[in-house]
Structures are given as C-alpha cells and as structure tokens.
Copies of this chain bind each other. A is one copy, B any other.
Amino acid sequence: MVIDENLVVELERRGIVTATFRKLSPAKKAAVYGAALSELAQAVFEKASLDRIAGAAGISKGSLIQYFRHKEGLFQFVAEVYLSEYRVFLEDYFARENAVRSIDRIRQFILGHLEYWEKGRGQFRFHLKLAYENDSGLTKAILSKIREMRLEYLKTIVRRGVETGQIRKDLEDSSVVLMLDGLLSYLERLAGELPTVSRSRQYLENLTDEFASGIWDGLKA
C-alpha cells in the first residue's frame, strides 16, 4: 500500500497534514495510515486511541500529533486516503470492464465490489464506519464524495442502458441509479454483518443474482 504523494501535498495545502508528515518516508506514511485505518475500523472515532495507533505504527504519540495537529486531522487524512483508494478501484474497474448488456454491467459492478470488500477488510470496515456513523461532521463531506463517485459510475451505466434501449425510459435516471445504489449499499451492510466476507461470498453472490433478476425483470408474476 503506497500513498499517493500528490494527495499528501494537497492535504498539506488544506492544512490536514503538516509538512513534517509530507517529508516522511513513504513506508512510514503507509505505516501510519495502516495503523490508523485498522484502529478506526475497530473503534468509533471518539474511542479510537492515539496511543494504540502510535504503538501500532511504531512511532510516538507526540509524532502523531505533530503530523496531524489534532486527532481529527488524522481521521480526515485516513478518510481522504481511503477515498483515493476507492477512486482508484473504481477507475481500474471501469478501465477493465467490458460487458455489453446493462444487466451484466450492473451485476458485475456489484460483484466487483464484493471482491473489493473481500480484499481489504480494514478498508471495508472503515468504509462502513464512514457510511453509517454520522457523528463527526467530518464524515459527511468525505462520505458524500464517495457516494457521488459511485453514483457517477452507476449513472454512466444507466444512461448507456437507456440510450441503447435496454433500460426503461419512463423512470428518471437518478431514481434508477439510487435504486441500484440502495441495493448495493444493502449488500454492503449485509456483508459487514456476516462473519467474514469470504466465508459468505457464495451467499452474497446468490443474493446478487436474485436481486439482479428481481430488479431487471420486475417482481410481478
């Protein structure tokens, strides 16, 4: 896991990380990110402990504060890095994606996420935290960006489907996009409740197929 240096520069400009942090070796940066992510994946923001994060990252608590000024800054940093990771995933996914039929694109978009969640458990838990813990005002901004990105990609799929006459024209694009996002989010939550994503992968894949079939052909007999 390597953190994008351009992102770090931008975060420094925005006052989220300090110059001191920017000058750190990539390895140390990654260590801090990893430690903070896994702590935040386990505990609510308010309960996450700088001591534990510093310990896990192999640095001192003083340094941590020096890098991010406040606990909140650390949290923003993690969220921004995660956001960029997720963006990369989406970009890579769409770069490789080559299905033709809309229904297949939808199914694969969901399945792609299942796989993504499975790969990075820490990231996934953090994503859920971000999505569902609206305590800290910080999350709101990041979360809406994540949502926006995801909706953007779904919109691409839906628009194309409508244009090619595969998807109904009488529904608003945005409504269809939200429906799809809703089902994806729901699967995400189910995945979060199951013991490990991998062990229940089969179950989630089946459910995805049922959802896809249901939404595509409708529930009507």
Q: Spell out A's residues near B (CB within 8 Å).
A: 42-47, 102-103, 128, 131-135, 161-162, 165-172, 175-176, 178-179, 181-183, 185-187, 189-190, 192-193, 207, 210-211, 213-221
Q: List 30 A-B contacts (CB under 8 A).
A: A42-B135, A43-B135, A44-B44, A44-B47, A46-B46, A128-B134, A131-B132, A132-B133, A134-B193, A162-B221, A166-B220, A167-B219, A167-B221, A168-B217, A168-B218, A168-B220, A176-B219, A178-B186, A178-B190, A178-B207, A179-B210, A179-B211, A181-B186, A182-B183, A182-B186, A183-B183, A183-B186, A185-B189, A215-B215, A217-B218
In contact, A220 and B133 (Cβ under 8 angstroms)? no
Instruction: Give complex CA distance A170, B217 in Å.
Output: 12
In contact, B134 and A168 (Cβ under 8 angstroms)? no
Which B residues are CB-close (under 8 A) to A183? Answer: 179, 182-183, 186
In contact, B216 and A218 (Cβ under 8 angstroms)? yes
Q: How far is the CB of A141 from chain B (nearest CB, A)?
A: 13
Q: Is the interface of A mostly helix, strand, loop or mixed?
A: helix
Q: How far is the CB of A195 from chain B (nearest CB, A)?
A: 13
Instruction: Give complex CA distance A103, B221 in Å.
Output: 11
Which B residues are CB-close (under 8 A) to A103? Answer: 220
